[in-house]
């Protein structure tokens, strides 16, 4: 049976009263101790940059394809969340609270609706990918 003493001995948390972590910084009692030499507040990031790698994206509802080339984005993915289907066509969902997305003025909202409408036209014209 595990006791509090066993848990404290085997855990990766600082002891009561605090202790110094392997990165040389002080950790109060109960805080998780680091497992790297990175200082507090820094993000550990791997060397392989997956941001621009070719990947699968949804190009139509429930249809996925691999990007034709690096730097291409699915038009459907860009429209998702902003559109609804009405009479078998996509339209911009006017019932959204645009303020939640940081669009506060009427001009910003109009501009964004215009951009989404342009994407809808490209999508309905048969295009599925667009350069970032």
Each residue of 107-117: pLDDT tens digit?
Answer: 888 888 899 99
The dihedral built from the CA positions of residue 78, 84, 88 and 90, taken in this order, carries a sign that is negative
To the question of pTM greater than 0.85 for the whole model, the response is no
Question: Residue 24 — left, alpha, or beta (φ > 0 → left; ψ -120 to 50 → alpha)?
Answer: left
Q: What is the pLDDT of residue 35?
A: 83
| Distance, CA of 80 to CA of 40 (rounded, Å) | 37
Q: What is the pLDDT of residue 38?
A: 77
Backbone angles phi, psi at 6, to 5 degrees: -65, -40
pLDDT above 60 (res 3): no
CB contact at 8 A, 76 and 127: no
| Distance, CA of 132 to CA of 121 (rounded, Å) | 17
Distances (CA, A) of 56 to 30, 52, 77, 129: 42, 12, 11, 12
Of 99, 98, 81, whose CA–CA distance to 90 is shortest? 81
Query: What's the token pair of residue 87?
Result: 């009479």
Environment class of residue 91 by beta-carbon count within 10 Å: exposed (0-12), middle (13-18) or buried (19+)? middle
Query: What's the token pair of residue 117?
Result: 């409408």
Each residue of 5-52: pLDDT tens digit?
Answer: 555 455 689 999 999 988 888 989 998 888 877 777 776 565 666 555
């Amino acid at each position: 049976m595990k006791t509090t003493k066993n848990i404290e001995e085997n855990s990766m948390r600082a002891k009561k009263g605090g202790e110094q972590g392997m990165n040389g910084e002080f950790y109060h009692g109960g805080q998780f101790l680091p497992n790297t030499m990175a200082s507090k507040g820094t993000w550990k990031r791997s060397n392989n940059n997956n941001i621009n790698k070719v990947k699968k994206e949804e190009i139509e509802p429930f249809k996925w394809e691999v990007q034709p080339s690096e730097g291409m984005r699915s038009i459907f993915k860009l429209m998702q969340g902003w559109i609804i289907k009405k009479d078998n066509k996509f339209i911009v969902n006017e019932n959204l609270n645009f303020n939640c997305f940081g669009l506060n003025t009427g001009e910003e909202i109009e501009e964004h609706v215009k951009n989404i409408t342009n994407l809808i036209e490209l999508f309905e014209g048969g295009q599925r990918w667009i350069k970032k």
